[in-house]
């Protein structure tokens, strides 16, 4: 089953070359880097490394959606990962294999395994938020996630059916909740995680951005959950 990898990237010139050149090309049909407003060389470096670059409107969710829209029509599996080098690309096969075997529709990489995650690569607040949101989602929807990590694979037809709307950092959680609501077969697998390769944090390492992202995540939790009840 052909795979498209989609990487939202905003000012990741210091990392994107490392990420694109480290792609497990033997497992994927293409790598799409989605740029919306980088003021550095992110796009040029990504193209030089073999990625296809597409543009998007502002926001993390907008970037992911633009990547989905641009993916080769022949790709049956879409993989999302970050452009800062934190995700371990050799773990990609762990995410896609259960979908290729037709055992799962959505495979989430969970970064909470302390044996795989580098010390200091996640803030305690991120770990806590992942667990808390996971507990609430389980209480409301009956499936337990341990993390809201970016590295994940989903069957394309399943994602299309979810009707994703979120244009912000709430996108990741919207996908997770809607996946439960739509009855997808979901699996979490432990993946590794490192501190970003270089460059500046857009979310976790920036207090105001984290607060904003946290607020969006809570809004998505409330809105998507309530919408699901009305379905």
Ligand X SMILES: Nc1nc2c(ncn2[C@@H]2O[C@H](COP(=O)(O)OP(=O)(O)OP(=O)(O)O)[C@@H](O)[C@H]2O)c(=O)[nH]1
Contact residues: ligand X, CB under 6 A: 8-10, 12, 34-36, 56, 58-60, 63, 82-84, 86, 196, 201-205
CB of 183 to ligand X, least distance (A): 29
Which CB sits closer to Mg ion, 175 or 180? 175
Q: Give SS3 for 222.
A: helix
DSSP-assigned states of every residue in 109-150: EE---TTTBPTTSS-HHHHHHHHHHHHHHHHHHS-------S
CB of 55 to Mg ion, least distance (A): 21
Which CB sits closer to Mg ion, 141 or 196? 196
CB of 203 to Mg ion, least distance (A): 7
User: Do the beta carbons of residue 180 and residue 143 sit within 8 Å?
Assistant: yes
CA dist 33 and 226 (Å) reads: 33
55 binds, among ligand X, Mg ion, none (CB under 5 to 8 A by kind): none
- CA 202 to each of CA 8, 14, 131, 207, 209: distance values in angstroms, whole numbers, following the listed order: 12, 14, 22, 10, 7
CB of 186 to ligand X, least distance (A): 22
Residue nearest to ligand X (CB): 201
34 binds, among ligand X, Mg ion, none (CB under 5 to 8 A by kind): ligand X
CB of 86 to Mg ion, least distance (A): 5
Which residue ranges make up the site for Mg ion (CB under 5 A)?
Answer: 82, 84, 86, 196
Residue 58 CB coordination number (10 Å): 12
CB of 172 to ligand X, least distance (A): 10
Which CB sits closer to Mg ion, 117 or 196? 196
Which CB sits closer to ligand X, 56 or 184? 56
Which CB sits closer to ligand X, 82 or 166? 82
CA nearest to 212, candidates 195, 231, 220: 220
CA dist 46 and 226 (Å) reads: 39
CA dist 137 and 159 (Å) reads: 19
60 binds, among Mg ion, ligand X, none (CB under 5 to 8 A by kind): ligand X
């Amino acid at each position: 089953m052909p795979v498209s990898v989609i990487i939202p990237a905003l000012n990741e010139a210091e990392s994107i070359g490392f990420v694109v050149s480290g792609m497990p090309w033997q497992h994927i049909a293409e790598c799409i880097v989605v740029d919306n407003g980088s003021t550095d060389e992110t796009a040029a470096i990504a193209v030089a490394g073999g990625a296809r670059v597409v543009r998007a409107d502002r926001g993390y969710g907008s970037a992911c959606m633009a990547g989905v829209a641009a993916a080769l029509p022949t790709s049956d599996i879409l993989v999302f990962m970050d452009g800062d080098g934190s995700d371990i690309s050799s773990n990609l096969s762990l995410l896609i294999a259960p979908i290729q075997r037709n055992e799962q529709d959505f495979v989430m990489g969970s970064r909470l395994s302390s044996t795989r995650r580098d010390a200091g690569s996640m803030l305690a607040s991120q770990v806590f938020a992942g667990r808390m949101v996971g507990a609430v989602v389980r209480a409301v929807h009956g499936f337990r996630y341990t993390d809201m990590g970016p590295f994940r694979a989903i069957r394309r037809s399943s994602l299309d059916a979810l009707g994703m709307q979120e244009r912000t950092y709430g996108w990741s959680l919207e996908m997770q909740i809607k996946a439960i609501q739509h009855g997808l077969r979901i699996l979490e697998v432990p993946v590794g995680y490192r501190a970003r390769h270089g460059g500046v944090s857009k979310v976790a390492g920036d207090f105001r951005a984290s607060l904003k992202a946290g607020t969006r995540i809570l809004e998505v939790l409330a809105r998507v959950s309530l919408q699901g009840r009305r379905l």
